[in-house]
Amino acid sequence: MEGRGAYNRHAGLQAAGGALALNALKQAAASIVLEAMDQPIVIAEYGASQGRNSQRPMRVAITELRARVGPDRPVLVYHEDLPINDFGSLFEVLESAPDRYVRDDPQVYPCAIGRSFYESVLPPAYVHLGWSAYAAMWLSSVPTQVADHIYVPCMKGAASAAFREQGKKDWQKFLSLRATELRPGGRLVVVLPGADDDGRTGFEPLMNDANDVLTQMAGEGALTEDERAHMVLATYARPVRELLTAFETDGRFCALSVEHCERLPLPDAVWDDFLRDGDGGRMVSRYAAFYRSTFVPSLFLALAQPDDAQRKGKLSDRFEHLLKVRLEARMEPIRSQVQVLVFARDPYSKVCS
Ligand SMILES: C[S@@+](CC[C@H](N)C(=O)[O-])C[C@H]1O[C@@H](n2cnc3c(N)ncnc32)[C@H](O)[C@@H]1O
């Protein structure tokens, strides 16, 4: 994600998707098994990014828990993300955002972990409640360097099969690690971009524009052919049947069972605002800023010198400008969906190794 709080400023789409899962989160917080002791309650957020979109879900979960245990029991909230994440912005939000969940609750203790969620990030049987929004579609690695498009649902050749296979392995890894970290009777709520049975997500028109912009930038000489050829998003949006495959045999996977699984259309607030105010310039600026802050840093990992901040900044500006030009010519909403899943950790059986 783009640093210096840029993701926080432009991730309204992800915030809206997460909001559609708040009832499921509330229900999960109400259902977790809590021991009678006064040990801290542990919440873990996997793939937190810069914290703006963490505040509402954490507040919902803590409010529900407070109704169960009262004001005195400590609550630990671990915000986990990759070591390269902009944790500085996350701490700023926790310190000063008006809606910060730590406000008015002295017994809530936020912490941060800089480690991939494809590794163990917390001790076994430690987490009461897990939350992960718009994160677990990011893969542990790019499974192939040769792809004909930056975005899996738009790929035509064999590359998409490699992503599907990686997506399957990573999902099972993610779930088995979280199953180990969850306490018996704990819950894990996962929010993902939804995909149809054929893998389409609704982001395809925007991704086609972005793909064309990158090709245009290579044509202008701003990107080398080699850089352009290696630009790909290491994401895979799994259709429901792929999310549930591991549970097919007996309804369980690593002592997890599926408590809730729902796919919903995601309203597009940017488009709705445009329909109200008719401000097309503002609309395309918002879409382009969303795209830049969410996806461009990953695409630009393929730059010959990805640490060259000055060149990266200039290229990002050029990309954003060219994307706006294309969006102005197209003018249509993002018709995406959100996938909400809740997993319950079996109170009795052992997790798989
Ligand atoms: C689109 S952001 C979502 C942030 C926030 N949860 C939200 O709902 O807006 C995805 C986050 O997942 C993180 N992420 C991707 N792969 C990861 C991994 N292997 N381990 C931990 N975090 C990862 C990214 O760094 C990024 O901060």
CATH number of the domain encompassing residue 225: 3.40.50.150
Any domain includes 353: no
Distance 141 CA to ligand 1 centre (A): 14
Any domain includes 142: yes
Query: Whose structure tokens read 């549970």?
Result: 247
How many structural domains does the chain have?
1
pLDDT confidence of residue 353: 57
The residue type found at 39 is Q
Any domain includes 273: yes
pLDDT confidence of residue 37: 83
Domain limits at 81? 6-345
Query: Residues near ligand 1 with C-beta < 6 Å?
Result: 1, 11, 14, 18, 47-49, 53, 81-82, 85, 116-118, 133-135, 138, 140, 294
Any domain includes 350: no
Instruction: Identify which of 117, 137, 142, 295 to mutate to test ligand 1's pocket (most ligand atoms within 8 A of the CB).
Output: 117
Residue with CA at minimum distance from ligand 1 atom 19: 116
Any domain includes 97: yes
pLDDT confidence of residue 333: 97
Instruction: Identify which of 43, 80, 89, 138 to mutate to test ligand 1's pocket (most ligand atoms within 8 A of the CB).
Output: 138
pLDDT confidence of residue 279: 97
Any domain includes 351: no
Q: Backbone phi, then psi, for 106, in 5-degree steps?
A: -70, -10
Instruction: Identify which of 4, 49, 113, 118 to mutate to test ligand 1's pocket (most ligand atoms within 8 A of the CB).
Output: 49
Tens place of pLDDT for every residue, the chain, 353 residues?
889 898 999 989 999 999 999 999 999 999 999 988 889 999 999 999 999 999 999 999 999 999 999 999 999 999 999 999 999 999 999 999 999 999 999 999 999 999 999 999 999 999 999 999 999 999 999 998 778 999 999 998 789 999 999 999 999 999 999 999 999 999 999 999 999 999 999 999 999 999 999 999 999 999 999 999 999 999 999 999 999 999 999 999 999 999 999 999 999 999 999 999 999 999 999 999 999 999 999 999 999 998 899 999 999 999 999 999 999 999 999 999 999 999 999 988 777 65
pLDDT confidence of residue 329: 95
Any domain includes 352: no
pLDDT confidence of residue 348: 81
pLDDT confidence of residue 21: 98
Any domain includes 1: no
Q: Of 302, 221, 312, 286, which Cα lies nearest the Cα of 10?
A: 286
